[in-house]
């Protein structure tokens, strides 16, 4: 069948992408500078090109046509004609097969070859030269989909922000070594649907999973040549299509089934999304999609020399979100994942890049305004990674409501404190109580601070307490990649050791960091595997380790690691049961109306209030505080009365010495304090003992005590 055998009607310029209506397919693609656009149809294998059909209509910078003979399952791509003039920002090359930016599914994998580049590799004029080889044989193909899907089961849980417990996980790495997941579906969404996985997540107590990138992405050329892969996936190829390797049967419904099962379990699904750049890289990168469709429109080019790209991300390019149609593509993608794929929110990689206006971050950026006014997107969970690599890129605290933000100041402070660094108490108090110094503006709440100790980017928790230095040799970059300063402490020996005392210390430090995280105001995030002692053997940048280095090791879950898992489960349950640990308003240390009790009281080990001199004493490494149950949660019952909670007394000792302490003056009717958590014990969540009201006790070195007031009855 050649192009003359296909009927071609004008079609519509909307919606963009390939839309099958049950009778035929409408194709629409934006390009303001193209001279002609050809639709290329391929057989089911994606290897044989069946026809090239010039899209007949051009309306409002959208090329479009309707083919009544094309149905769901059809493989396709585009060839776009126009000037090849890199110096002017144009890189059209019709010899290169291009992916539809709105493709809902891809078939096949990209195979690196010189034909993928719009210029001749090795030519003395570099990207100013022109390559006329056909790239179709080396490109994945777009697939026309049937969008129908019957959603069943429970509706989305719509968890309040302050009740979120986020669990950051990798689709592939989470199940690749799980003994209760069938080998045939490991590393896929279907694998995550296994009963063992759902049971594990629900028993752990998480209320949201945050998946590392699931958009279709590319394995970087240099990594493939080195025998490695882009494991993390921060190299987007298509913003509408799930990564094909995560689909065991190649059907996007597998993702929808995963979302539905998570919702049935009361768990929201958040996606880590990468809209700040694409896999096409800098001016020397390949021509795969946007570059060949309309380079000047889609990318943020240098004004004084549009041959080159502004790069705020360290990856070679940045999307031009000041352009209406590029902004439309991103917001269309977000809405698609919410409306059609069922997700509940997003974490935006290098979000500062999305909000740059004329090179500088602005709260009035087009992207932020577009999301804020959108009746759908403004209601889902929006979380920013509030920095990028460009000038002025660090913007922690500066995103507008309703955004939450990853708070790296929380991470660094917790690490420094438990490592034993001096002078940490003033900042520690702010981080534990919700970071009001950063976020209390414009009606933002404590959950604007996403608190974490570890994430995919850096050491795992086990490695944080086992290594002083990174060990990234497996990345084949001579250990130059990854952060040099991790604020870690190995306890005296680098890496694994048979020294019993050091191993006990490391286990205690894990409990200290996790307990601190789970009793802090704000929104806690745990890295998958930290609760079972997962290690990457000192690699703090495992982005290219699609192997046992980065996959979770489930076989070793026994002994101390099983104890740690139980510890985390109980702490998460404690947090969920007590509103005082996840208030929707900031603490201020003020008296509760109608009482003489402060909502939070900062205390010395002797039970007395901290003074200015105490806060300024850089050698202090012990801090206590009391959370008043009388502070209420500012939620009202049906009768309008505030909810009250128990009163808790917490003391953190990061010194290497035991400290003599006294409990504070007790709240009304308090007869003493029951210890709920003592991290100096291997099974620290047991009700281990009781402290007398206004009595003396000793807290052991490098440990945390969490106690609850008990009445005299």
Residues that are catalytic: 349, 385
Do the Cβ atoms of 396 and 387 come closer than 8 Å?
yes
Work out whether the CA dihedral 570, 572, 576, 582 comes out positive or negative: positive
Q: Residue 576: enclosing H or E segment and its boundaries?
A: helix 560-577
Q: How far apart are CA 562 and CA 540, in angstroms?
A: 24
Displacement of CA 398 from its chain's centroid (Å): 19
Per residue, the 3-state secondary structure of 300-349, as one string, reads: CECCCCCCCECCCCCCCCCECCCCHHHHHHHHHHHHHHHHCCCCCEEEEC
Of the candidates 404, 632, 436, the residue with the CA atom closest to the CA atom of residue 523: 404
Per residue, the 3-state secondary structure of 448-501, as one string, reads: HEEEECCCCCCCCHHHHCCCCCCCCHHHCCCCCCCCCCCCCCCCCCCCCCCCHH
Helices (H) and strands (E) in the chain, counts: 16, 31
Q: How many CB atoms lie within 10 A of CB 201?
A: 21
The CA R_g of the chain, rounded to the nearest whole Å, is 28
- Tokens 């108490």 correspond to 425
Concatenate the DSSP letters of all residues of 491-557 into one string: TTSSS----HHHHHHHHHHHHHHHHHHHTSSSEEEEETTGGGT---TT-S-GGG-TTTTTS---TT-
SS3 689: coil
Fill in the DSSP letter of residue 255. H
Of the candidates 352, 289, 343, the residue with the CA atom closest to the CA atom of residue 135: 289
């Amino acid at each position: 069948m050649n192009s003359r055998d296909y009927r071609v009607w004008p079609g519509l310029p909307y919606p963009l992408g390939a839309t099958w209506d049950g009778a035929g397919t409408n194709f629409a693609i934006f390009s303001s500078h193209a001279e002609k656009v050809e639709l290329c149809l391929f057989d089911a294998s994606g290897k044989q090109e069946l026809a090239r059909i010039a899209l007949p209509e051009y309306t409002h910078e959208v090329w479009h046509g309707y083919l009544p003979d094309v149905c769901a399952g059809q493989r396709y791509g585009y060839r776009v004609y126009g000037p090849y003039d890199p110096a002017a920002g144009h890189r059209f090359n019709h010899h290169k097969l291009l992916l539809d930016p709105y493709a809902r599914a891809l078939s096949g994998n990209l195979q690196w070859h010189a034909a993928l580049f719009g210029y001749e590799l090795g030519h003395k004029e570099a990207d100013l030269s022109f390559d006329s080889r056909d790239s179709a044989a080396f490109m994945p193909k777009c697939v026309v989909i049937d969008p129908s899907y019957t959603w069943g089961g429970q509706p989305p849980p719509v968890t309040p922000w302050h009740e979120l417990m986020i669990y950051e996980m990798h689709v592939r790495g989470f199940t690749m070594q799980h003994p209760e997941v069938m080998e045939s579906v490991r590393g896929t969404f279907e694998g995550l649907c296994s009963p063992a996985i759902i049971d594990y997540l629900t028993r752990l107590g998480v209320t949201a999973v945050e998946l590392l990138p699931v958009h279709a992405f590319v394995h970087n050329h240099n990594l493939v040549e080195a025998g490695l892969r882009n494991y993390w996936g921060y190299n987007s190829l298509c913003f509408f299509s799930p990564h094909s390797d995560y689909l065991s049967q190649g059907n996007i419904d597998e993702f929808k089934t995963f979302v539905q099962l998570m919702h049935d379990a009361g768990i929201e699904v958040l996606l880590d999304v990468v809209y700040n750049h694409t896999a096409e890289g800098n001016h020397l990168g390949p021509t795969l999609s946007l570059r060949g469709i309309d380079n000047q429109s889609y990318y943020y080019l240098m004004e004084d020399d549009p041959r080159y790209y502004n790069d705020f991300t360290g990856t070679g390019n940045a999307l031009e979100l000041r352009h209406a149609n590029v902004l439309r593509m991103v917001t269309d993608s977000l809405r698609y994942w919410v409306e059609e794929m069922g997700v509940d929110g997003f974490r935006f990689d290098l979000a500062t890049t999305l909000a740059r206006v004329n090179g500088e971050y602005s709260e009035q950026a087009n992207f932020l305004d577009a999301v804020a006014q959108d009746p759908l997107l403004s209601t889902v969970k929006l979380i920013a990674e509030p920095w990028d690599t460009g000038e002025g890129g660090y913007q922690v605290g500066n995103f507008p409501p309703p955004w939450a933000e990853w708070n790296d100041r929380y991470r660094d402070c917790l690490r420094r404190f438990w490592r034993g660094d001096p002078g940490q108490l003033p900042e520690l108090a702010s981080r534990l109580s919700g970071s009001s110094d950063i976020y209390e503006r414009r009606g933002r709440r404590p959950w604007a601070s996403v608190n974490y100790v570890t994430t995919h980017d850096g050491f795992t928790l086990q490695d944080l307490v086992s290594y002083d230095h990174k060990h990234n040799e497996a990345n084949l970059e001579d250990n130059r990649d990854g952060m040099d300063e991790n604020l870690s402490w190995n306890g005296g020996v680098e890496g694994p050791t048979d020294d019993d005392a050091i191993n006990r210390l490391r286990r205690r430090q894990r409990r200290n960091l996790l307990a601190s995280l789970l009793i802090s105001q704000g929104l806690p995030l745990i890295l998958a595997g930290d609760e079972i002692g997962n290690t990457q053997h000192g690699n703090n940048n495992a982005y290219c380790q699609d192997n046992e280095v980065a996959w979770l090791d489930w076989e070793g879950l026994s002994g101390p690691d099983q104890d740690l898992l139980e510890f985390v489960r109980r702490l998460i349950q404690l947090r969920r049961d007590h509103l005082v640990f996840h208030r929707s308003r900031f603490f201020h240390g003020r008296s509760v109306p109608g009482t003489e009790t402060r909502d939070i009281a900062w205390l010395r080990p002797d039970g007395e209030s901290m003074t200015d001199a105490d806060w300024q004493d850089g050698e202090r490494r012990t801090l206590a505080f009391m959370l008043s149950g009388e502070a209420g949660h500012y939620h009202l019952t049906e009768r309008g009365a505030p909810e009250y909670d128990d009163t808790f007394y917490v003391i953190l000792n990061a010194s290497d010495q035991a400290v003599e302490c006294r409990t504070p003056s007790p709240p009304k009717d308090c007869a003493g304090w029951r210890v709920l958590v003592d991290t100096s014990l291997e099974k620290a969540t047991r009700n281990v003992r009781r402290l007398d009201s206004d009595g003396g006790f000793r807290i052991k070195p490098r440990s945390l005590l969490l106690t609850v007031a008990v009445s005299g009855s």
